[in-house]
Structure formats: C-alpha cells, structure tokens
Amino acid sequence: MADAPPPDNATPHPAAAYDADVRRIIPYYDLIHETVLSFVEALPEPPRTWLDTGCGTGSLVARALPRFPATRFAVVDPSPAMLAVARERLADPRVVVLAPCGTEELPPGAFDVVTAVQCHHYHDPAGRRAAVAACFDRLRPGGVLVTSENVRPLTLEGLELGLRRWARFQERAGRSPPEVAAQLARLDAEYFPITLEEHLRLYREAGFAAVEVLWCSYFQAAFYAVKGDA
C-alpha cells in the first residue's frame, strides 16, 4: 500500500479538500467568517486596505470582495499549497497574494484591517507574541485586528466536557471514531489553545488600546483589538 502524501499545510487536511473537511471539525465555521465580516462592516469607515494572514484557501476574502468593493486586499499563508488554491479563487485585481510566510514573518506594510482566522494556535507562547506583534506593527494608527482562535476552557472539568461535546459534533458531521480520536489527540501536540483571559492579555500587552471578545462557542472565540491613534 502506498504511503500517504506528506501534508501540504499545518492542518490534517490537504489544501484541495480543506474547505469541505474543515466544516466537519470546526463548529460554526461559516458563522465565524460572517461574524468577522459583519464586524468590519460596522466600522466607522470601510477599510481601504485589508491583510488576511493565515488566509488558507482564501475563503474569507472571497466573501469579503463583493461586500467591500473599494477595499484592496493582501493575503498570505505559510503553505504554498493553500496559497495556490487562494490565488485561483481570488483572481481579482484588488487582491495581492504575498509570498508564503507565517504571520511573524510578514513583510512591511500598513493596513486598516488585519484578520487572522484560526492560524495562531500552532505557535508556542513566544511565537504567538511575535505573530500578534507583527499584526500590530502592520496596522495603521486606529486600525483593527480581528482574530478567531481556538480557546482553552478555564478548568480541567470544562476541558473534558468540551472535548466530549466537540467529539459529538464531529461524529454528527460524519467523521468516523478514529478520525475524531485523531483530531482530539492533536490538542497540545500540534496546536496549543490558550484561555480567553490569556488571549485578552496577549493583545493588551502587544499595545492595543481596546480589546474585546466578539464571539465565543465550543473551543473557538473571535476577538477584535484596536490600535491607538498615537
């Protein structure tokens, strides 16, 4: 039997299958995207420039393009395979696809909005700090970072109950027991969630003037952080 091909990104799903597979793992995946987009729509002015880091297959920006007709976008991801899918999907003159890199390695730039959806939980604490600092640095004064991330429950009991609930979601979505077990085993081995409180402290310590929880459910939460005008 032939060996399975090596992974082409940090997730357990090949880039070509990611959009279908991720919805069987992350509850409310589409709602997370809608929450991010509707929040940006509520800003006082539409963003002139928007960076989506950890863009994956480009699905967030694909939804944003018709809703922000005057905005120019840049997208980036560490995975060349993910960026290949994004480049094909986002064949629009308002979109620039940057060379593959992680958030902590972003090239210089200045943006009104930076989004980072489900991409920083692969980092250790130092890597997280570096990624958030890079987002802060690439924002113009008054700019906004919007993130969605895995979050860790506050107690061991909460973690155990949360894992049981998450396993049931995956089973109802059609994943087999071995697939579910393999996904749960990635916790603290391949991705490293932190608590809501730790997320908020991370953004404040990076220098953001206002930090808020935007949405939360299961093991995911969305946040926004506003860079001061000074």
14-27 pLDDT per residue, tens: 777 788 889 999 99
CATH of the domain at 64: 3.40.50.150
Which candidate, 150, 173, 172, places its Cα nearest to that of 162?
Answer: 150
Per-residue model confidence as pLDDT tens digits over 183-218: 999 999 999 999 999 999 999 999 999 999 999 987
- By residue range, what is the domain housing residue 221? 20-154+191-226
37's CB contacts (< 8 A; 6+ apart) are 60, 63, 64, 67
- Which sign does the torsion angle of CA 11, 13, 15, 20 carry? negative
Residue 47 belongs to a domain: yes
Residue 140 belongs to a domain: yes
Residue 55 belongs to a domain: yes
Q: Give the chain's domain count.
A: 1
What is the full per-residue pLDDT of the chain (230 aa) written as tens digits? 334 444 666 666 677 778 888 999 999 999 999 999 999 999 999 999 999 999 999 999 999 999 999 999 999 999 999 999 999 999 999 999 999 999 999 999 999 999 999 999 999 999 999 999 999 999 999 999 999 999 999 999 999 999 999 999 999 999 999 999 999 999 999 999 999 999 999 999 999 999 999 999 878 999 999 999 86
